[in-house]
Amino acid sequence: MTDIVKIVFFCQEQDIATWQKISELLSQGKSGMMLQDFLDKLAPDAGDLLDDLFEEVDPSELYAEYTEQNENQFMFVLMAGSDGDFVASEFRKLFKALPVTNTRVAVGCDDAM
């Protein structure tokens, strides 16, 4: 079984276009430097918070199986391999540094979605 990490949050109105691009990148499996660059647009050096994650998880293996947007609310369902707890922990750190609210990060497995 593959772990999944589900992230739900609300962004600021002015950041919707950036989050839409991040959503596209994650869906295309482009979670490396491009993702970090877009995160830096939201908060200085936020992309650097993914460095620990990328030391353990190859960026090409981190992608969104599913994304959803409803106005300024986003949901990402990320494939996390066999270490969902670690991936979730790293994303919790990241989202604390970003201008978002009501963030929820949960770990599950692919057959639960």
Percent of the chain residues topping a pLDDT of 90:
62
Tens of pLDDT, residue by residue over 49-106, are: 888 788 888 877 788 999 999 999 999 999 987 888 999 999 999 999 999 999 999 9
3-class secondary-structure state, position 101: strand
- Closest alpha carbon to 55 in 97, 86, 16, 88: 86
**Highest CATH level, class, for 3-112:** alpha beta
Would you state the pLDDT for residue 112? 47
Amino acid letter, residue 94: L
